Structure 1
Amino acid sequence: MRAQNYLKSLLEKFVADNGYTWPEKTTIEPPKDEKFGDMATNIAMMLTKQAGKPPREVAADIAAAIDGATPDIAKVEIAGPGFLNIFFSPAFWQQTVTDIAAAADSFGMSEMGKGTKVQVEYVSANPTGPLHIGHGRGAAVGDCLTRILRAAGYDAHTEYYLNDAGRQMRILGNSVWVRLQRLIGIDVPDPEDFYKGDYIIDIAQHVLDQHGEAIKDKPEDEILDICREYAMNTILDGIKEDLAAFNVEHQVWFSEKSLVETGAVDKTFKRLADKGLAYEQDGAFWFKSTEFGDDKDRVLRKSDGSLTYFASDIAYHDNKFDRGFDLCVDIWGADHHGYVPRMKAAVEALGRSRDSLGVILVQLVNLLRDGEQVAMSTRAGEFETLADVVKETGADAARFMFLSRKSDSHLDFDLELVKQKTMDNPVYYVQYAHARICSVMRKAAERDITPAELSADLLAHLDTAEDLRLLKLLAQYPGAVESGARNLSPHFISTYLQELAGALHRYYHANTILGADTPEVISARLRLLMAVAQVVRNGLGLLGVSAPESM
C-alpha cells in the first residue's frame, strides 16, 4: 500500500508537470512475478493519446522523470508495449519496520472510509431455538467485517434484527403450550408445525413452575402470549450468552414488532404509494417490484391484514436509512440469494442507490470429525449448536475457521483438526507465528540481548532476499485491511495472515536470529521479528482472535 501510494504520487507529479489529466484506467499493482519489479503500471499506455506519442516513448519520459529522482526508486524498466516495472530500494522496504514500531496497534488503520456511516446487521436468527454453526459463521463474518471497517475509518455500527413478530413466534408459543399440556397429563396431538427440540420441554416446565397447572384455566390467547413471550426471552437470553462467549458484539437489538407498533410500516407503505410504487388489489397491498426488474409484483400486506416478511424488511431498511446510515450491509444465508435483487429493488424504490445496500451471503458449514461427517442432531456426543462447537474447540479456533475462506464458499470444519497443535491446523499455524517470536524475545532477554534503537543504519543489515521478502509482505498489510473493507470481505485478513505466518516460519528456519554474526544483525533481525509479531497481533485482533505469547 505504501509503495503504491508513493509511486502514485510520483506519477501524479509527472502528469501535472506535463499538463495531462490522470487517466481513470491507470493501474498500479505488484506484478505476479517479483523479477518484474515491486510495482508495475500501465500509465504510459493510458497517456499515449494525451501525449501524442507511442506508449514506449511516454514510458521512457516517465522513466527519465522518476528513475533516480529519489533514492527510494532503485530502477525503472520498460516492458512490452509500454508497461513500467519499478524496483524500490532496500532502504524503502526497511523503513516498514520503523513505520510499524511507530504505529504499533494502529498499524494498518486508515481514514479511507472517514465520513461514511455503515450499519452491519448479522445473525438475526429467529429466537426459536439455539444458534447453530451456520449462525456462527455469519456471526464471525459480521463481527470481523465491522472491525475491519472501523480500522479503515468507517463509522460502523452493529445490529441484530429480532424477528419477534409473525408466524414463527406464534408457532413457538403453541409449541410450548403443547409441551406444557403434556407435562400436566393432557394428551394433545402434534400440531402440523411445531418445534420439537428438548429445549421446548425445558421452557414448558419453567412456565409450568411459574404459573402452576392453573394456567390451563386462562383464556387460550393469554396462555399462548405467556408461552410465546417466555420462550422468546429465554431463547434470546441464550443467544446473547452464546454470542458473548463467541466474542461477538451487537450494539442494537432491533425489534420487528416495533416497526408495526411505532407506525414505521404504515409510513413506508405511504412513501411507496405516494411515489406510485404500491397499490391495493383484491384486498391486498402490493409493491410494484416489476418496475425494478422483478418478474412479478410482490404482496406486502395480505388480504387478511397480515404482513409478509418482505413488508417488514422494506420498512426495516427504510428505518435504517432514516437513522442516517450511508451503507447498510446485511449478512444472510446463501439460500437468500434470490431475495437480494428484490431487496435492492425496494431500496431503490425508497429513493436510495442499490449500492447503498450490501449483501454478504454465507454458505453452509460442513461439520466433520477426523474427516467424517457429524450428524446434525442433539443426540449425545453429536454437535449441532454453536455453543457446543465453541465449548469443544474454543472461540479462537472456531472464529478463525469460519473466516478462513470466502463467506459464499462451502466450508469444511473438522473438529479434530482445529484442536491439533500442528502446522496442518491453520489457526495454530498463525497463532504459533506470534508465539514463536515471543519465545525468541524471551530467550534474548535471558541472554541479556536488547535490540538496538531503530535507525536506517541498523535496518540496512536486513539486506538478504529473505529479509526483503518478509519486509515487502509486512508492507502489504494496510492494503489488505483496505481491500477487506472495500470488498466487504473479511477473508482477506485471514488469507494475508496465513501467508505472513508461512513467511515467518520459513524465515525462522532459514536464518539464525540470536546467533547471527554480529550484534547489529541480531538487533536488526529481532526488530524485524517484532514488526511481524505486531502485524500478526493486529490482524488477529481484526478477526477477533487472540495472539498467544506461548503455545
Structure 2
Amino acid sequence: MTPDALASALLAVVTPIAARRRPDEALQLTAADVTLERPRNRDHGDWATNLAMKLAKPLGTNPRELAQEIADGLTIAEGVASVEVAGPGFINIRLEAGAAGALAKTIVDAGDQYGRNESQAGNTINVEFVSANPTGPLHIAHTRWAALGDAIARLLAFSGATVAREYYINDAGAQMERFGASIVASIHGEEKPEGGYSGEYIDELGRKVLAERPDLLSLSRDEQVEVARDVAYPLQLAEIKASLAAFNVTFDEWFSERTLHAPGPDGGPSLIDQAVDRLRAQGHVFDEEGAVWVRTTDFGDDKDRVIRRSNGEYTYFAADAAYYLSKSDRGWADKIYLLGADHHGYVHRLKALAGAAGEDPQKNIEVLIGQMVSINGARLSKRAGNIIEMDDIIEWIGTDALRYSLERSPADSPLDLDPELLRKRTNDNPVFYVQYAHARTHNVGRNAADSGVDRSEFAPELLTHETEAALLGALQEFPRIVAFAAEVREPHRVARYLEELAGLYHRWYDNCRVTPLGDAPVEPVHRTRLWLNDATGQVLRNGLDLLGVSAPERM
C-alpha cells in the first residue's frame, strides 16, 4: 500500500465521521490534507498521522476520542494490520506484510516514472542560473550553481511543472569592451588595459582572432577592439557550453543581453525602451532631476532605483527590468534566479521589480543566493591565471563526484570539498556509497539469473524480515521526498535520502538472500526478493538521475 492509497483510505473513514459530527457544515477534505509520517521507532508501526489532532477543533471533539473513532474505522481497511492511538491523538498504523511488500512490484512496473508526481502541475517556471560573462572560462563558483540549478529544474519537471533552464548571456556593456581590448593588447604584446582580462586563454583567443581576421592589424585601434570582441565572443561562449555539457548541464534558452538593447522591428523602441513605458503605465515610474526612476521602495526595496540617467543612458537595472518582463512575455509566470554570494543586494531589487511590473513578488519571483565553495588543494588555472577553472576540477574529481558533492548540501551553506575523499572508492565517499549500492543491485540480478532466480513469481507477504520492512518503508518515501525537494528547491534532500536508502539496502543484502545457498531449490521468497532488489535499484537510479549523476551497473 502506497502512502497515497493509505491517505485515501483514511479520507474514506474520516469523511463520514465529519459529516456525522458536523452535519450543518460540510468539511471539504482531500487526500492532500492527510499528513503521513514514518515513525522514528519502527515498533510504533509503518505510518503515523496527526489527522485527529488537526480535525478535533473543527469537529468540536476531543483529539484522542476522534483518533480512536478513526482507528476503529481504519482497522477494517484492506491492507491494514493494526491501528493504535498514542499520546494526545496520534494514530499509528501497521500494514499487512503483503500490503507493504506489494510496493516492490509497483516500483518495478513504474520504472523510471516512479516518484514522478503532480505537486507542481500547472506551474510554468523559468530557472536562470550560471549566467557568467562570456569573457572567460567558467570557475568553481559557477560550478556549484550549474549543479544546483540543473537539479532544481529536474526536480520541478519531475513534479509536473513546465520548466525552462535559461542562461542569460551578459554580452553587452563595458565588460565586453574590456574583453576585446584585452585580446588586442595581447596581440600587440602589451599590458592588459585597466580592469581587463589576462591569462593564457586571452593569448589563445588573440591567435584565433588573427587567424580568422588576418587584416586586423590594418584597422584602427577602435576597429580592432570591435572585431576582436565579436570574433572571440562566440568562441568563448562555445567553450562555456562545452564545459557545461561535460558537467551534464544543458540549457533550453541562451538569452542574449544584446537583444534587450537592439531596436525593435522597423527601428522601433528596444525592449528596454518598452520596459520603461510598461513600468510607467503601472504607475511606479517618476521623473526627478532629469532622470527616470522606479519607485521600488513601494515593494520593500531599500531605495528607489534609477532606470535612466539624466544623460539619457540606461542603467543596468533597466536591462534587469526588460529581461524580467521578457520572461513573463514568453509565458513564464514564475521565475527562479540563482545568484552568487555577492548578490545579496539583488534580492529586494528583483522582488521590487516584480511588484512594479504588476506581479506578485512573493509568488512570481524567487531569488536563491548560494554561498562560496572551496576545494582543498585546488590550483589556480594555468590558462586563466587567477581562477580555479571548472574544466580542471571536472578532470580532477570527475563529473559524478563533483555534481553529487555540490548538491548534497544546502545552497546557502559554505562548502569545503575534500577532493582526495571524493576520488576514493570507499564507503567514506558519499557518491561512491550510493553508486555502489546501485551497482550491487545489478550484480545481485546477474547472480540471480545465473542461479535460475527470476521474477516469475511475486509473493509480497513473504517479505517479513525487519530489514525488508525498513527498506520498503524507505522506498515508499521517495515520491514524497521528490515533491518536497522540488517545493523547497533543495536537491540535497534527495541526495541524503539516497544515502539512507543505500545503507538500508546494504543491511538487507547482508541479511536476506536472493539466491539459494548451495544446491538448495529456488523458492518463492527468492523470486520475491529479486523484485525488492530491482525496485531498490530503480529508486536509486531515479534519484541519481534527478541529481544528474550516473548510475553505473558495475563498479
Q: Which residue of 2 aligns with 1:298?
A: 305
After superposition, the C-alpha distances for 1:252-299 in whole angstroms (9 at most, x for unaligned) are 110111012141111111111122211222332211111112221112
Distance 1:473 1:381 in 2: 47
1:3–1:189 CA distance, 2 compared to 1 (3 A):
closer
1:49 to 57, 60, 85: 57
After superposition, the C-alpha distances for 1:116-138 in whole angstroms (9 at most, x for unaligned) are 22111111111111011221111
Distance 1:107 1:27 in 2: 20
Q: CA deviation at 1:89?
A: 2.2
Assess if the C-alpha contact under 8 Å between 2:121 and 2:161 holds in 1.
yes
Q: CA deviation at 1:112?
A: 2.5
Q: Which residue of 2 aligns with 1:210?
A: 212
Distance 1:284 1:221 in 2: 30
Q: Which residue of 2 aligns with 1:14?
A: 14
Q: Which residue of 2 aligns with 1:526?
A: 530
Between 1:201-210 and 1:2-11, the stretch displaced more is 2-11
Q: CA deviation at 1:8?
A: 4.8
Runs of 4+ deviating beyond 6 Å: 23-26, 379-383
Q: TM-score, normalized by length of structure 2?
A: 0.91
Assess if the C-alpha contact under 8 Å between 2:97 and 2:462 holds in 1.
no
Assess if the C-alpha contact under 8 Å between 1:56 and 1:81 holds in 2.
yes
Q: Which residue of 1 aligns with 2:185?
A: 178
Assess if the C-alpha contact under 8 Å between 2:10 and 2:34 holds in 1.
no
2:375 aligned counterpart, secondary structure: strand
Assess if the C-alpha contact under 8 Å between 2:410 and 2:492 holds in 1.
yes
Q: CA deviation at 1:46?
A: 2.7
* Equivalent residue pairs, number: 537
1:335–1:5 CA distance, 2 compared to 1 (3 A):
farther
1:63 to 71, 84, 92: 71
1:265 to 269, 272, 288: 272
Assess if the C-alpha contact under 8 Å between 1:26 and 1:46 holds in 2.
no
Q: Which residue of 1 aligns with 2:48?
A: 40
User: Which amino acid in the other structure matches residue 30 of structure 1?
Assistant: R
Unaligned runs of 5+ in 2: 265-269
Tell me if 1:248 matches 2:249: yes
1:341 to 345, 348, 351: 348
Q: CA deviation at 1:222?
A: 2.0
Assess if the C-alpha contact under 8 Å between 1:4 and 1:39 holds in 2.
no
Q: Which residue of 1 aligns with 2:194?
A: 192
After superposition, the C-alpha distances for 1:281-336 in whole angstroms (9 at most, x for unaligned) are 23322111111122211122233333322221121111101111121111111221
1:448–1:60 CA distance, 2 compared to 1 (3 A):
closer
1:18 aligned counterpart, secondary structure: helix
Between 1:113-122 and 1:215-224, the stretch displaced more is 215-224
Distance 2:384 2:274 in 1: 50
Assess if the C-alpha contact under 8 Å between 2:135 and 2:176 holds in 1.
yes
Distance 2:58 2:210 in 1: 82
User: Which amino acid in the other structure matches residue 107 of structure 2?
Assistant: I
Q: Which residue of 1 aligns with 2:448?
A: 444
Q: Which residue of 2 aligns with 1:274?
A: 281
1:450–1:98 CA distance, 2 compared to 1 (3 A):
closer
- Equivalent positions of 1:225-236 (< 5 A) are 225-236=226-237
Q: CA deviation at 1:39?
A: 2.6
Distance 1:330 1:99 in 2: 37
Distance 1:383 1:549 in 2: 36
Q: CA deviation at 1:428?
A: 0.8
Q: CA deviation at 1:22?
A: 4.8
Q: Which residue of 2 aligns with 1:283?
A: 290
Assess if the C-alpha contact under 8 Å between 1:378 and 1:384 holds in 2.
no
1:452–1:161 CA distance, 2 compared to 1 (3 A):
same
1:421 to 408, 420, 425: 425
Assess if the C-alpha contact under 8 Å between 1:365 and 1:413 holds in 2.
yes
1:397–1:234 CA distance, 2 compared to 1 (3 A):
same
Distance 1:522 1:9 in 2: 31
1:61 aligned counterpart, secondary structure: helix
Q: Which residue of 1 aligns with 2:203?
A: 201
After superposition, the C-alpha distances for 1:476-502 in whole angstroms (9 at most, x for unaligned) are 111111112111221121111111111
User: Which amino acid in the other structure matches residue 418 of structure 1?
Assistant: L
Tell me if 1:221 matches 2:222: yes
Q: Which residue of 1 aligns with 2:360?
A: 353
Q: TM-score, normalized by length of structure 1?
A: 0.92
Distance 2:384 2:137 in 1: 16
- Equivalent positions of 1:499-538 (< 5 A) are 499-515=500-516, 519-538=523-542
Assess if the C-alpha contact under 8 Å between 1:173 and 1:228 holds in 2.
yes
Q: Which residue of 2 aligns with 1:476?
A: 477
Tell me if 1:384 matches 2:388: yes
1:430 aligned counterpart, secondary structure: helix
After superposition, the C-alpha distances for 1:226-276 in whole angstroms (9 at most, x for unaligned) are 111122211101001111111111111101110121411111111111222
Assess if the C-alpha contact under 8 Å between 2:105 and 2:532 holds in 1.
no
Distance 2:491 2:163 in 1: 14
1:131 aligned counterpart, secondary structure: coil
1:274–1:410 CA distance, 2 compared to 1 (3 A):
same
Q: CA deviation at 1:382?
A: 11
Q: Which residue of 1 aligns with 2:267?
A: none
Assess if the C-alpha contact under 8 Å between 1:148 and 1:542 holds in 2.
yes
Distance 1:438 1:242 in 2: 31
Q: CA deviation at 1:381?
A: 12
Q: CA deviation at 1:93?
A: 1.4
Q: Which residue of 2 aligns with 1:404?
A: 408
1:331–1:511 CA distance, 2 compared to 1 (3 A):
same
Identity of aligned residues (%): 40
Q: Which residue of 2 aligns with 1:140?
A: 147
User: Which amino acid in the other structure matches residue 409 of structure 1?
Assistant: S
Q: Which residue of 1 aligns with 2:338?
A: 331
Unaligned runs of 5+ in 1: 183-187
Distance 2:8 2:451 in 1: 45
Q: CA deviation at 1:4?
A: 5.1
After superposition, the C-alpha distances for 1:151-181 in whole angstroms (9 at most, x for unaligned) are 1111111111111111211211111122122
Assess if the C-alpha contact under 8 Å between 1:452 and 1:520 holds in 2.
no
1:382–1:435 CA distance, 2 compared to 1 (3 A):
farther
Distance 1:49 1:211 in 2: 79
